[in-house]
Amino acid sequence: MLHIQNFIAGAFTEGAGGKNFEKRSPLTNAVIATVAEAAKADVDAAVAAGRAALKGPWGKLTLADRVDLLNAVAAEMDRRAEDFIAAEIADTGMPAGVAKHMCARGAANFRVFADVVKNVPTEFFEMATPDGRGALNYSIRRPVGVVGVICPWNAPLLLMTWKVGPALACGNAVVVKPSEETPQTAALLGEVMNAVGVPAGVYNVVHGFGPGSAGEYLATHPRIGAITFTGETRTGAAIMKAAADGARPVSLEMGGKNPGIIFADADLDAAIEGTLRSCFMNTGQVCLGTERVFVERAFFDKFVAALKTAAENMRVGPPHEPGVSMGPLISQEHRRKVLSYYAKAVEEGATVVAGGGVPEMPGDYAGGAWVQPTVWAGLPDDAAVCREEIFGPCCHVSPFDTEDEVIERANSLDYGLSAAIWTRDLARAHRVAAAVEAGVVWVNSWFLRDLRTPFGGAKQSGIGREGGVHSLEFYTELKNVCVKL
């Protein structure tokens, strides 16, 4: 059976406490690996290794050499793409096509940020002085130190490299704490780092859980220079409290209850295809996914009928079977949560338009974390399934009458991560996009991302922005140098 170790100072190691935990398959619930749980001593060693790398060979590299190494990492990830795809599928159960896309994006994150850091400008100012000789001011970027990277399980490699890529591009070292549900690709990346010659200690991985385990040890470590986190809002708030001791900066991408807004003039086929993806891609386990769908009343019945047909035609099944568009949820524990909302929707009086239960699966797959893609209608906006993040393949569809009304309803929650607007009216698209309280707004599309653009949430969906130069603002300290002439 596969055994996954921590990766510290360029070497794979067992946990100092001698503890292991099991990793189960979402597809069957069978144990597929054991994982070495990091003790506090392991986190201490990982942070120390990062600090040593910053003082040693990594800190002495030129920008050009660092960029070359990041491009080498991306090339080696491409060479080992099938290994990463297989690991991602084993950990998450996602369809093979989705895993292939996610892993390609993981490699791309290193290339993009290598280009960004190579080309980012800084400031230069001339100033007058009392003696008339003047002075020059210029700014330089310096790494913040060892960055704690705490990752989610829904898109493990993509979201981990989305942070590791820019952190390393800026010259930092990292200690990564992957989710206990998805440990494999973080470990594989350690092999890649060694293969291309990234100095020991630059990239470290510690496995474990949150409170009383690797997550807490990392978030509270006094030698961590900054903490970046993607996950649910309560965990993000706890990390922010921990980071306050020492005034360490945090970047938090947290929960969402994202709206989709469909106007009556929308292209029906495009709106259905986009909404289907935004509700059910990766079994609804996407932070940017849509769980609240608002449809202009004149278009409502036609849209709901088409969405019902599309949802019922989705094929739920194992990753490599032809035509499969949706896999299982990440775990039995998460399935219990999602199914509790399926039951709650019915208790609150929802009309179950599609799904609402558990599909029958053959053989060993019967033990997996499967649920049906589900569409509800008929509930008020204050119903639990309309207000609370479920993070499963489900949405509630409700009608609206006016533009002002739907903006108010879309903005009524404490979340503000993303939104999708479907309309042929360009002026209205701009108005509504500006008015919706969200960090990312799509018009007539969904999940279309240029990695140079700012990404992050408003309200309780996050703090800070990632992407392009916006990532560099977090992963560097900007220093001003004033030279008297």
Q: Where are the alpha helices (DSSP H) in 80-155?
A: 81-92, 96-119
The CATH class for the domain spanning 2-254+461-484 reads: alpha beta
Cα angle 215-220-226, degrees, rounded to a multiple of 5: 90
Which of 3.40.109.10, 3.40.309.10, 3.40.50.20, 2.60.120.260 would CATH assign to domain 258-450?
3.40.309.10
Per-residue pLDDT tens for 303-361? 999 999 999 999 999 999 999 999 999 999 999 999 999 999 999 999 999 999 999 99
* Consecutive H or E run containing 79: helix 63-79
Q: At what angle do helices 81-92 and 184-196 cross, to 10 degrees?
A: 160
Answer yes or no: are the C-beta atoms of 31 and 24 closer than 8 Å: yes
In this predicted structure, what is the pLDDT of residue 9? 98
Per-residue pLDDT tens for 159-193? 999 999 999 999 999 999 999 999 999 999 999 99
Per-residue pLDDT tens for 209-234? 999 999 999 999 999 999 999 999 99
In this predicted structure, what is the pLDDT of residue 5? 98
In this predicted structure, what is the pLDDT of residue 238? 93
Residues with a known catalytic role: 253, 287
Q: Which amino acid is at 224?
A: I
In this predicted structure, what is the pLDDT of residue 16? 97
Query: In the chain, pLDDT over 90 holds for what percent of residues?
Result: 98
DSSP structure string for 154-187: SSHHHHHHHHHHHHHHTT-EEEEE--TT--HHHH
In this predicted structure, what is the pLDDT of residue 82? 98
Using alpha carbons, select from 293, 298, 297, 256 the residue that is nearest to residue 272.
293
Distance CA 35, CA 38 (A): 9
In this predicted structure, what is the pLDDT of residue 179? 98
For the chain, which ranges sit under pLDDT 50? none
What residue ranges do the domains of the chain occupy?
2-254+461-484, 258-450
